[in-house]
Structure 1
Amino acid sequence: MVRLITHNMLTCHVKNCTKDNYPLVFQDAAVEIRPAEPNLGFIERFLPKLEWSALVSTAKALGDDSLPEVMPEDKEELRSEEFLTKLHHVLMELLAEHEVGR
């Protein structure tokens, strides 16, 4: 099982992999929701490290469409409890187990 916070940082280091191998693609993934105590301060500080489009596309592939297509530009919205709670859910509570493809 892998959390999406970890998945968002993974890249392929196998010989002959190219930049087109990111993000790693879930195929036939088993999805599990595992509740985790929210640490919204951590999530807010982690925002600059995220590859947003990869995170959103992966979350959607796993059946979660709670995040906006584009990261909000408004700093107040980025700091809102509602936004950070949704992001916490996707990053920390949504787990997938599968064969990695691409």
Structure 2
Amino acid sequence: MRLLTHNMLSSNIKGVANGFPFRIDVEKVVEKKVDFNAGFLRNIFPKVEWKAFVDAARTMGYPELPEEADSSLLDSDEFLTKFHHGLLELHLEEGALICPETGRRFPVNKGIPNMLLHEDEV
């Protein structure tokens, strides 16, 4: 699961008011090479919740991103390279996503998060 995906997921358990961002419990991280596309990165940047992204990247062992970022950084090749790597090339292969409000764990196996809810959570 890429951090791009993580940044767009939130808990939809019934009654949860604060389901974003999921905390990440890492068992295995893999890096998968992805073609660099600066245009995509510039277009997706405003949609990324930066603090959640940086915290998730650090949890996955990638401390290279700045604490804060604004659109002025999109002219920097160095920033775009780091942003690209964190957003698209780091994958949570095994672990769990944890709801910040309830603590409910959603397993991630072979890079796929299982977000199915139990009957009482719907």
TM-score higher than 0.5: yes
Greater relative CO (CA pairs within 8 A, separation 6+): 1
> What is aligned with 2:68?
70
Tell me if structure 1 keeps the 8 A contact 2:26–2:59. Answer: no
- Give the paired residue count: 98
Task: Look up the SS of the partner of 2:34 in the other structure.
Answer: coil
- Highest CA radius of gyration, 1 or 2? 2
Tell me if structure 2 keeps the 8 A contact 1:43–1:84. Answer: yes
Q: Per-residue deviation at 1:28?
A: 3.2
In 1, Cα distance between the equivalents of 2:27 and 2:70? 28
In 2, Cα distance between the equivalents of 1:101 and 1:61? 13
Structure with the higher fraction of residues in helix conformation:
1
Tell me if structure 2 keeps the 8 A contact 1:44–1:79. Answer: no
> What is aligned with 1:82?
78
Deviates more, 1:54-63 or 1:27-36: 27-36
In 2, Cα distance between the equivalents of 1:98 and 1:41? 31
In 2, Cα distance between the equivalents of 1:52 and 1:9? 11
2:91 paired residue among 88, 91, 95: 95
Task: Look up the SS of the partner of 1:88 in the other structure.
Answer: helix
Task: Look up the SS of the partner of 2:68 in the other structure.
Answer: coil
* Cα-Cα RMSD: 1.3
Mark the runs of 5 or more structure 2 residues left unpaired by the alignment.
100-122
Mark the runs of 5 or more structure 1 residues left unpaired by the alignment.
none
Identity in percent: 38
In 2, Cα distance between the equivalents of 1:62 and 1:83? 18
In 1, Cα distance between the equivalents of 2:68 and 2:98? 25
Q: What TM-score do the two structures reach when normalised by structure 1?
A: 0.88
